[in-house]
Chain A
Amino acid sequence: MAKFLDLACAVEEMVHDGDVLAMEGFTHLIPFAAGHEIIRQKRRDLTLIRMTPDLIYDQMIGMGCASKLIFSWGGNPGVGSTHRIRDAVENQWPRPLAIEEHSHAAMANAYEAGAANLPFAMLRGYIGVDLPKVNPQIRKITCPYTGEELATVPAIRPDVGIVHALRADREGNVLLEGITGCQKEVVLASKRTIVTVEEVVDDLKASSPNSVILPSWVIGAVVVVPGGSHPSYAHGYYTRDNSFYIAWDKVSRERDSFLAWMEENVMTKGPDDFAVHAGGRAAS
């Protein structure tokens, strides 16, 4: 059964230096509060996995938490570059960052293979492109039935998976609705898991019997952090803060302005400070 913990305790217990860590959420439900806590606890040498590193990994990499990034699209969506990731790749600041680069299709398949307890994923992909020349993890297999050659990538099996969800019930069962990305797969593929949620309720009030519900017994820790995915969003609670994503371009462009922002908004703040971003309750 999932334990209800506060965020500092959950990160302290679950996330260790050198871990392979996946924090998912495809535009929606990105676990920013958890990322900030990892930064405050000064975790180091993490291998960070995310399809779209987004601002959350821009911040964690800029603060020196990671030595490796596994990803498939590394920009500020609709805005431009993730400047801190670029600075790490191009100039090794604040420390060198190894990268392992895939396509979205490959990573989505790799998470699914991880959840399915398979060693690798297979796809009809990477045809006629250069990525396999620079990423030796991308290999090939011949279909034993048709002879077709297909691409393979290793399954993703993180030490820790962290996602943000809409709400939990008192047992620690967790509900996701809207754009659910790879969150279910990450939770089922990871050895240890933290799920941050907007609120705890008596009844999840899922809008459909097919809503994504993760049972308490597949989750390590549930942490209540209202507003915890800002500037990403929580379906039915609050919308994506697109103006923040636009403003981040300027904040993150220079090292000094980035560090000043992190000091003011992360290092001297805590999870409770996300509450100002939480919208009205959706469940009631």
Chain B
Amino acid sequence: MSMAYTPNEMMTIAAARALRNEDVCFVGIGAPSAACNLARLTHAPKITLIYESGTIATKPNVLPLSIGDGELCDTALTTVSVPEMFRYWLQGGRMTVGFLGGAQIDRFANLNTTVVGDYHKPKVRLPGGGGAPEIATNCREIFIIMAMGKRAFVEKLPFITSMGHGPTGRERRALGVASKGPTRLITDLCVFEPDAETQEMTVVSIHPGATREQIIENCGWTPTFAASVAETRAPDAIELEVLRDIQARTKAAHGG
């Protein structure tokens, strides 16, 4: 049986599958939030989702447009202040996973959401780091979701907003950061995981219909493929239905 779905849906579904019932997940807004809630509504109903606005164990019925929509507070177990969130819960080491997106990424999964061009004379000024710099080092591991493209997957970042494995893949360990950093990068074409030796993000699974050529074309560095590359399991009917339902509810609720 074949089912029509978009690359973006495949990406969100593959990202959701990475999460486990027992995870305590610090959720970034946008694509990470969709993936995290899809996980909660399918295979991981007991997952604890936490947003930086202070909402703990939230179960939104529609995806929040911002990180602090009332929906997050209304459906949370409890809501704490923002200083408490960053001090006790994030820095306190309570998160098993941080789920991030970004504007640009390099082969060692360092992220840029700050600026393109010179910091003081920017070509493009992006929003900045928000919670990401500390999420990246204080969560036990990091998942990243980003659609591929040469402007997004770059050889060298103009600015490191949050650290993956460091500019050469060695800095994270050298700095003595105890958490694992990015262990999975889910894109619209494939899934990357860090090589055990070099920490370079390496293609371990290709989505159905996507090709190695497409991945190479849409990557600003020459990507490495694992010795054995799997085919990502296609979305099943339930995953697609739940994802489309929450997106339809969200669209209706935001009036966009």
Contact = CB atoms under 8 A, between A and B. Distances in A.
Contact of B54 (A89, A128, A179, A235): A179
Given A178-B70, A182-B83, A235-B70, A105 B131 contact: yes
A128 B254 CA distance: 37
Given A74-B128, A128-B177, A246-B256, A26 B54 contact: yes
Interface string B227-256: 000000000000000000000000001111
A43 B157 CA distance: 39
Nearest to B132: A103
A151 B194 CA distance: 28
A239 B70 contact: yes
A212 B129 CA distance: 28
Interface stretch (B15-23, B133-141, B148-156, B201-209): B133-141
Given A124-B138, A130-B161, A182-B83, A72 B66 contact: no
A104 B175 contact: no
Interface in B102-145: 114, 119-120, 122, 124-134, 137-138
Interface in B5-64: 29-30, 52-55, 64
A206 interface: no
Given A105-B86, A128-B163, A179-B54, A28 B30 contact: no
B96 interface: no
Nearest to A233: B70
B177 A127 contact: yes
Contacts of A73: 127-131
Nearest to B91: A124
Given A78-B29, A123-B91, A181-B54, A128 B137 contact: yes
A81 interface: yes
B90 interface: yes
Contacts of B172: 128
Interface in B48-96: 52-55, 64-70, 72-73, 79, 81-83, 85-87, 90-91
A78 B256 CA distance: 11
B68 A27 contact: yes
17 contacts: A26-B68, A28-B53, A28-B73, A73-B130, A74-B128, A81-B127, A101-B128, A104-B129, A104-B134, A123-B86, A127-B175, A128-B172, A129-B133, A181-B54, A212-B81, A235-B70, A242-B255
Interface of A: 26-28, 51-52, 71-75, 77-79, 81-82, 85-86, 89-90, 101, 103-105, 108-109, 111-112, 123-131, 134, 178-182, 184-185, 212, 233, 235, 239-240, 242-243, 245-246
